[in-house]
Each structure stands twice: as C-alpha cells, then as structure tokens.
C-alpha cells in the first residue's frame, strides 16, 4: 500500500501501481474526464502512469498552465500524425508546446506547403482526435531508438537520439504515429475538440543558420469549440491594437531603412507622449530622493572591461569605434551602470551620504539580429528609465521596498492592475556562471525574497535566471487582452562596486563597499510605450495623450475663430490642433476618431456668433454645445482628477 497526499492535505491509501487517473475517478467521474496530466512529487507526468511509492499528487486540468501545455504538446504529436498521413515521407524535427499553442518543425523535402492546406490538416487532426487514440509510453534502449528511426529514415530524430543518454529514452505512440519524446501527454487525443493552425515560418534545424531550413507550423487547440472562437476573436483584437499599426496611424514613431534597422524615430506626437511619461517618472523619483545625471552615449573599452560587460557582451555588441589615436577604442554604451559607477567615484563618500540615487533616461545600444527586430519591443537603440542606488548593506531592503513603491505607483497610474513578479536566482548547479562571492549572492537573494513576501506579491521563483552580476526581480504585467509582457526590473548587485572599487567611510571610520541596486520600472521607454499602446488600444489617459483636442472648422470662413479658440486652449495648457484641411466635416470627424483624439471641437457660424464650441468625445459621440470656458473647465477638471494621485 502507498499513501497519496492531495494538494488540500488529505491523505488516502492505495495499492501501489495506481495512476493519477484512477485517483481522479475515485473522486468523481467529472473530474476524471478533465484530467490532462499529473504532478507527482513535483514531477510533471502522464496521468495514466502507475505510481509506485508514497507521493504528493496534483491532478492537472485545462485550468492549470501545465495542463494546457500538456494538451498543446500532445497536439503537436497529433498534427505530426495527420501530416504524416497526408504527406507520406516527411521528416520531423522537434514539436514543443509554446506560450500559446505549439509548433512542429518539419522537413517536407522538395514540397513547399502553404496555409491553404491548413483546413485539410485540421480536419484530419479532428478526425484522429475523435478516435480517442491513447498515448502509450514505452522505454526503449538507445539502439532500439536508433534502429526505429534509421528504418524510418529520419535523420533529425537520429541526431537527437545520439545526444541522449542510454536508459533514459522514451517513445510515445498514438494511433499510427511514434515519436521520440520525454512526455508527458494527454491520456488520449479525445480531449482535443477544436484545432486551428495559425502560421508557417522557416526555422533552421537546431537554430543553426548553416543547417537545413525546416518548415515550422504553428497551431493551437482547445477542449471546447467556444474557447477557440474566443481565442480567434482575441487574436483579431490584438491585430487591431498592434503597436506597429497604431504607431503609424497615430503618428507616434517610424523606422527608416536609411537611418538603420531597429533604430526608432520618435515623431512629434510620440516624443510628446514619451516626454510626458518621463516627466511623470522624474516627478515621482524626485519625491523619492533621486538625482538626475547625464552621461555620454559611448565609453572607452576599458570602462566595459572594468565592468565586465565587454567580456560578457563584447562578441554580441556593435563593433568598436576607433579614433585617430592608435589603440584608442570606444563602444556604444550597452549599459548605463559603468558610467554611474564613475559618477559615484567622482568624490569620497561617507555613510551619512548614503543612499545615493542617480537617475538617467539613458540611451543604450545593443546589436540584435535583423530577424529578431520587432516594432518598438525589439530594437537596437533604446532608452532605459534607469537609476542606480548606492547604499549600505543594511539599507538594501528599504531601498528595494521604496523602488517597489515607485513601480506600483506607475502601474496604478497607467491602469496595469494585473501583474506578477518573477524572482530570478542563481542556478545552483552552475555556480561558475556568475561573478561575485557566494556570501554576497546569498545576502542579495535573501533580501529580495523577504521584500516580496512582506508585500504579499504574487511571485514566481526562477532558478538559474539571474543575470551574471546579481539576482533580480522582474515585473510582468498582463494587458487588457490578458497577454503577459515583461517590463521593469530591480536588480541587486554586489559585484560592480567591487570591480570599480567603490567605497564609503563607515561610522567606524573604515572603508566599506557600497551595494548597488539597478532599477528600471518601465524597462525601456520604447518597450513601455509599445505595451501601453496595445494595452489601451491607443486611447491614452487624458493627462498623457499627445493631443487632447482638435478644432474642426466647418469651412474656411471660421478659421479665424478656430485660431482664437486654439490660443485660449493653449493658454489653459490644453494640447490642441486645428484641422485646416478643406475636407467635409464628416470626413474630419472620422479622421479625428481614427486618430483617437479625445475631444473634437466643431465650429461654424452659430459657435462663432455665440462664443461656443460644439463638442464630440471620442467613442462617446455628441456632447452638444457649450461655452468655450465651460469646455476648458471640463477638460481641466478631467486632467486634474486623473493626476491628483500621481
Ligand atoms: Zn511528446
Ligand atoms: Zn544598471
């Protein structure tokens, strides 16, 4: 007999060899129908696998991320089975689950498949799913595994098997399809009720450009048809909110091949928006005791050798800049921290000066492959809302807390209500990856964990995800469509102060090393603006939006009145423009709606004669006529209310 402990703490005895599925059936048939996989003593495995010893068992359904992942990974097998039936002789690379769905890398030989063929594959997948094919796990020897795929003639699987250790190789069989796989998988394919193949891309075998390009097919599956319908509607909405599309329509930013790939150009409205975000953050930071600094865009190669960035990033960065002086080399700044260390070192410090907090909207440059570039979220030049705090070891925790207050304030102000934090710690199995002493690392990791706990944050701990110079906490927000975005970061660093030999005089009159905290609540202005655009679909809060009102004269006769009005608005600190074009009013309104300008002020004969404006609100329609003073009062109140808590 073995003892099984469920997540609610209840314990029950079973005969050894029982499966998680049997346990589910003992609870209720309904639950058993929904079980997709199980976690046994923390290991994710098939729900049908026998359990041989005392164990903690968690039953996973569609409501668990790992349940979804199991469904999607199993769907990759199902897609491969369907494709093999429809296109005999194809060869398979790898087929993992991803954040939303799955893909499989496939070698179609000379055949070039198109997405017109998706419906045929989807139908075949559904037909096979209805057969409720059971996923059967089988342990095989390395030789057996090699023999199977040699006979089948699949060079990719053979290469994968050659990298595996004998005795730890498993096959999974479902219907007529056998795959090399660690699992786990669904109990059977019958759980897959809705299928959508999403796109095709080229993918080099093992990510190596010198090797063959395979065809990657992406797809997603669901246990209910309605969920697929909802997902497709979400994708449609995401397309409408794509920051690259809105960035163009709202004239916020642009890219020019002549300037260079991945180098964003901020247009006047985008610069206005970004400037307001920067002002907001500067204000919050000033209140929290930060001082602004400014540093150059390049630095001597020795600076980055001292900091260690050269050794770490040198190979992946832009090429060095040489000067007419022999042997003098500069790098585009990949990080602001080394410059800020030198600002700290500019004069001696006493413990009474600490903490010192230097903030800079510092533009940095990192080389990204052209294929990796994406709108404002992956660029080669970006501006961090950076700051570095130098403090005593005893101050780390309080500083960390105060940074978190700033992060919360920003998320609140911009309506990111839903976020999780990830704490990234060392990989305990690979200590040589990191710079710095064990003792310092432990101190830093401890401080982060304690603060997260004290604040009651929803936290994920990721071992092995820390940067080479210190542990960190990252913030991931969920946007209006439920998508996760990584934004800001707070990072404790005991190493740079060591490398730059930074010091302060303690109360004991001895020299001590300060601790450094790196932090960037937005991450970068580029990324943050991209996420903000998609979150609010381009409808920025009134205090932030680059253009709060647009005046639409119904004909040229009223241009003088429009101009007088504009002056009044500007005097009241309202950001407005006039649509001078000789278009029909209906057209001007439609264009202003598309540009998502919050207020449209239509002026004609009646308005001019009586000192009125006819007001339309974006999305809300006609608000009727009001005096110019009443409109100014209305919008000013709105801005005041929105900013009262900032
Ligand atoms: Zn698998
Ligand atoms: Zn830094």
Angle (nearest 5°) at CA 212 between 206 and 215: 80
Do residues 227 and 289 share a domain? Answer: no
For the cut 90, the answer to whether the pLDDT of residue 393 exceeds it is no
What is the pLDDT, as a whole number, of residue 377?
93
Mean pLDDT computed over 554-569: 94
For the cut 90, the answer to whether the pLDDT of residue 192 exceeds it is yes
Show which residues are catalytic: 337, 366, 384, 386, 388, 472, 518
How sure is the predictor about 446, in pLDDT bands with cuts at 50, 70 and 90?
confident
Q: Please indicate, yes or no, if residue 280 is contained in any of the structural domains.
A: no
For the cut 80, the answer to whether the pLDDT of residue 468 exceeds it is no
In the listed set 502, 536, 570, which residue is the last one of a domain according to the structure? 536
Do residues 364 and 377 share a domain? Answer: yes
What ligand has the least distance to the C-alpha of 171?
A: 1
Do residues 167 and 191 share a domain? Answer: yes
Q: Please indicate, yes or no, if residue 323 is contained in any of the structural domains.
A: yes
- CA-to-CA distance for 421 and 452, rounded, in angstroms? 8
Please provide the average confidence, as pLDDT, over all residues in the chain: 93
In the listed set 240, 256, 277, which residue is the last one of a domain according to the structure? 240
Do residues 35 and 78 share a domain? Answer: no
CATH number at residue 159: 3.30.980.10
What ligand has the least distance to the C-alpha of 178?
A: 1
Dump pLDDT digits (tens) for 413-427: 888 888 889 999 998
Do residues 185 and 327 share a domain? Answer: no
Do residues 56 and 75 share a domain? Answer: no
- CA-to-CA distance for 285 and 399, rounded, in angstroms? 13
CA of 508 to the centre of ligand 2 (A): 29
How sure is the predictor about 409, in pLDDT bands with cuts at 50, 70 and 90?
confident
Mean pLDDT computed over 458-481: 87
Residue 282: is it exposed, middle or buried by C-beta count within 10 angstroms (0-12/13-18/19+)?
middle
CA of 427 to the centre of ligand 1 (A): 26
- CA-to-CA distance for 134 and 81, rounded, in angstroms? 13
Do residues 313 and 459 share a domain? Answer: yes
Residues with CB under 5 A from ligand 2 (ion): 337, 518
Mean pLDDT computed over 253-270: 96
Number of domains in the chain: 4
Q: Please indicate, yes or no, if residue 427 is contained in any of the structural domains.
A: yes
Q: Please indicate, yes or no, if residue 258 is contained in any of the structural domains.
A: no
How sure is the predictor about 458, in pLDDT bands with cuts at 50, 70 and 90?
confident
Contacts of 51 (CB under 8 A, 6+ apart): 2, 4, 14, 16, 17, 18, 19, 20, 40, 57
For the cut 90, the answer to whether the pLDDT of residue 372 exceeds it is no
CA of 73 to the centre of ligand 1 (A): 6
Q: Please indicate, yes or no, if residue 266 is contained in any of the structural domains.
A: no
What is the pLDDT, as a whole number, of residue 455?
83
What is the pLDDT, as a whole number, of residue 194?
97
- CA-to-CA distance for 400 and 387, rounded, in angstroms? 12
Q: Please indicate, yes or no, if residue 278 is contained in any of the structural domains.
A: no
CA of 201 to the centre of ligand 2 (A): 36
For the cut 80, the answer to whether the pLDDT of residue 440 exceeds it is no
| Count of other CB atoms within 10 angstroms of residue 222 | 23
Do residues 357 and 469 share a domain? Answer: yes
Dump pLDDT digits (tens) for 287-324: 999 999 999 999 999 999 999 888 877 767 788 899 89
What ligand has the least distance to the C-alpha of 341?
A: 2
Do residues 200 and 109 share a domain? Answer: yes
Dump pLDDT digits (tens) for 594-616: 999 999 999 999 999 999 999 99
pLDDT: which is higher, 230 or 440: 230
CA of 149 to the centre of ligand 2 (A): 49
CATH number at residue 44: 3.10.20.30
pLDDT: which is higher, 435 or 546: 546
Task: Give the global pTM.
Answer: 0.81
How sure is the predictor about 429, in pLDDT bands with cuts at 50, 70 and 90?
confident
How sure is the predictor about 383, in pLDDT bands with cuts at 50, 70 and 90?
very high
CA of 74 to the centre of ligand 1 (A): 6
Do residues 35 and 98 share a domain? Answer: no
Of the candidates 147, 99, 117, 70, the one whose C-alpha atom is nearest the C-alpha of residue 215 is 117
Q: What percent of the chain has a predicted confidence (pLDDT) above 90?
A: 78
CA of 641 to the centre of ligand 2 (A): 35
3-state helix, strand, coil in the chain (%, to 5): 40, 30, 30
Do residues 441 and 510 share a domain? Answer: yes
Rounded to 10°, the helix 155-162/142-152 angle is 170
* Three-class DSSP labels, 5-63: ECCCCCEEEECCCEEHHHHHHHHCHHHHHHCCEEEECCEEECCCCEECCCEEEEEECCC
Q: Which tokens belong to 224?
A: 């209910």
Q: Which tokens belong to 16?
A: 């050894």
For the cut 90, the answer to whether the pLDDT of residue 431 exceeds it is no
For the cut 80, the answer to whether the pLDDT of residue 357 exceeds it is yes
- CA-to-CA distance for 16 and 55, rounded, in angstroms? 11
Dump pLDDT digits (tens) for 95-133: 999 989 999 999 999 999 999 999 999 999 999 999 999
In the listed set 240, 255, 270, which residue is the last one of a domain according to the structure? 240
Q: Please indicate, yes or no, if residue 575 is contained in any of the structural domains.
A: yes
For the cut 90, the answer to whether the pLDDT of residue 432 exceeds it is no
What ligand has the least distance to the C-alpha of 470?
A: 2
CATH number at residue 589: 3.40.50.800
CA of 426 to the centre of ligand 2 (A): 18
Mean pLDDT computed over 465-491: 87
For the cut 90, the answer to whether the pLDDT of residue 215 exceeds it is yes
Domain encompassing residue 82 = 66-240
Contacts for 307-314 with beta carbons within 8 Å, 24 or more apart? 307/335, 307/337, 307/338, 307/341, 307/496, 307/499, 307/500, 308/435, 308/468, 308/469, 308/495, 308/496, 308/499, 309/334, 309/335, 309/338, 312/468, 313/366
How sure is the predictor about 479, in pLDDT bands with cuts at 50, 70 and 90?
confident
Mean pLDDT computed over 4-31: 93
202's torsion region: left (phi>0), alpha (psi -120 to 50) or beta?
beta
Do residues 82 and 184 share a domain? Answer: yes
How sure is the predictor about 154, in pLDDT bands with cuts at 50, 70 and 90?
very high
What is the pLDDT, as a whole number, of residue 83?
97
What ligand has the least distance to the C-alpha of 337?
A: 2
Q: Please indicate, yes or no, if residue 135 is contained in any of the structural domains.
A: yes
CATH number at residue 348: 3.30.930.10
How sure is the predictor about 509, in pLDDT bands with cuts at 50, 70 and 90?
very high
């Amino acid at each position: 007999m073995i003892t099984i402990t469920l997540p609610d703490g209840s314990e029950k005895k079973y005969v050894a060899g029982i499966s998680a599925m049997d346990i589910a059936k003992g609870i209720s048939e309904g639950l058993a129908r929904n079980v997709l996989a199980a976690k046994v003593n923390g290991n994710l495995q098939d729900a049908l696998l026998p359990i041989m010893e005392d164990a903690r068992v968690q039953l996973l359904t569609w409501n668990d991320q790992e349940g979804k992942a199991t469904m999607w990974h199993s769907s990759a097998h199902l897609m491969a089975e369907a494709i093999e039936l429809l296109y005999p002789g194809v060869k398979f690379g790898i087929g993992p689950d991803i954040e939303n769905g799955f893909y499989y890398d496939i070698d179609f030989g000379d055949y070039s498949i198109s997405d017109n063929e998706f419906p045929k594959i989807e139908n075949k997948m559904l037909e096979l799913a209805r057969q409720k094919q059971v996923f059967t796990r089988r342990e095989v020897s390395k030789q057996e595994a090699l023999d199977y795929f040699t006979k089948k003639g699949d060079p990719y699987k053979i290469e994968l098997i050659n990298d595996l250790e004998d005795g730890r190789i498993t096959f999974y069989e479902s219907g007529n399809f056998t795959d090399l796989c660690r699992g786990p998988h669904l109990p059977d394919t019958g759980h897959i009720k809705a299928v959508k193949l999403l796109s095709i891309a080229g993918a080099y075998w093992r990510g190596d450009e010198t090797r063959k390009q395979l065809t990657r097919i992406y797809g997603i599956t669901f246990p209910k048809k309605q969920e697929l319908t909802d997902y497709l509607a979400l994708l449609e909405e995401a397309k409408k909110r794509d920051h690259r599309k809105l960035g163009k329509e709202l004239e916020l930013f642009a890219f020019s091949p002549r300037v260079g790939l991945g180098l964003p150009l901020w247009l006047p409205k985008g610069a206005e928006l970004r400037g307001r975000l920067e002002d907001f953050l500067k204000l919050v930071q000033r209140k929290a005791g930060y001082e602004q600094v400014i540093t150059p865009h390049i630095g001597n190669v020795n600076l980055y050798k001292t900091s260690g960035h050269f050794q770490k990033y040198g190979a992946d960065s832009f090429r060095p800049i040489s000067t007419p002086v022999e042997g003098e080399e500069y790098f585009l700044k990949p990080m602001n921290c080394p410059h800020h260390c030198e600002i700290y070192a500019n004069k001696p410090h006493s413990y009474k000066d600490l903490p010192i907090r230097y903030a800079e909207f510092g533009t940095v440059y990192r080389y990204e492959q052209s294929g990796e570039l994406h709108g404002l979220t992956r660029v080669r030049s970006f501006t961090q809302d950076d700051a570095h705090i130098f403090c005593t070891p005893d101050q780390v925790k309080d500083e960390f807390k105060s940074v978190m207050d700033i992060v919360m304030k920003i998320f609140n102000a911009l309506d990111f209500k839903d976020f999780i934090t990830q704490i990234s710690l060392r990989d305990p199995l690979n200590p040589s990856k990191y710079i710095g002493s064990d003792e310092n690392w432990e101190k830093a990791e401890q401080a982060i964990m304690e603060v997260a706990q004290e604040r009651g944050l929803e936290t994920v701990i990721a071992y092995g995800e820390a940067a080479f110079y210190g542990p960190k906490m990252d913030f991931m927000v969920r946007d209006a469509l439920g998508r996760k975005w990584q934004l800001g970061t707070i990072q404790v660093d005991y190493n740079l102060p060591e490398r730059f030999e930074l010091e302060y005089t303690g109360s004991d009159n001895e020299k001590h090393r300060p601790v450094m905290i790196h932090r960037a609540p937005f991450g970068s202005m580029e990324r943050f603006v991209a996420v903000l655009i998609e979150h609010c679909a381009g409808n920025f809060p009134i205090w932030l939006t680059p253009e709060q009102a647009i005046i639409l004269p119904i004909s040229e006769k009223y241009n003088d009145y429009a101009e007088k009005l504009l002056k009044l608005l500007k005097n009241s600190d309202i950001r407005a423009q006039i649509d001078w074009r000789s278009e029909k009013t209906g057209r001007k309104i439609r264009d202003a709606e598309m540009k998502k300008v919050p207020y449209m002020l239509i002026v004609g004969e009646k308005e001019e004669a009586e000192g009125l404006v006819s007001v339309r609100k974006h999305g809300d329609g006609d608000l009727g006529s009001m005096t110019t003073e009443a409109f100014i009062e209305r919008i000013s109140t709105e801005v005041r209310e929105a900013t009262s808590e900032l």
